[in-house]
């Protein structure tokens, strides 16, 4: 294991961070629009939003802690902590983006 991160590894860590941030913002926007009735969401979306936080952050903390205790570099620790969160935000982003706007359907 290299003790110094390569530029490519640092770029990968940075890109993972920025992807996580962008997907988080998109998920937040979909959910806020859902609360406003603009985006089509299920009736359980608000509860899901609250319920997923604790387990997601616990998994991220555990993964980051394991990496730190394993002697990993700071970029590897950050990646380990971000990956569980990134998987969830990517999944939420895909799921919510497919639902589309809440367009009233008028009978013809």
Residues 46-104: pLDDT tens digits?
999 999 999 999 999 999 999 999 999 999 999 999 999 999 999 999 999 999 998 87
Q: Which two tokens stand for residue 13?
A: 């860590």
What pTM value is reported for the model?
0.87
Taking the CB of residue 86, how many other CB atoms lie within 10 A of it?
19
CA–CA separation, 84 and 39 (whole Å): 26
Q: In Å, how far are 38, 48, 71, 107 from 51, measured between CA atoms?
A: 23, 5, 32, 37
């Amino acid at each position: 294991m290299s003790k110094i991160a390569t530029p490519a590894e640092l770029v990968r860590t940075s890109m993972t961070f920025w992807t996580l941030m962008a997907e988080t913002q998109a998920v937040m926007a979909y959910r806020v629009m859902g609360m406003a009735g603009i985006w089509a969401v299920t009736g359980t979306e608000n509860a899901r939003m609250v319920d997923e936080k604790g387990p997601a952050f616990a998994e991220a903390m555990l993964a980051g802690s394991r990496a730190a205790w394993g002697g990993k570099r700071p970029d590897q620790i950050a990646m380990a902590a971000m990956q569980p969160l990134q998987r969830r935000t990517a999944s939420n982003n895909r799921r919510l983006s497919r639902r589309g706007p809440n367009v009233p359907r008028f009978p013809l």
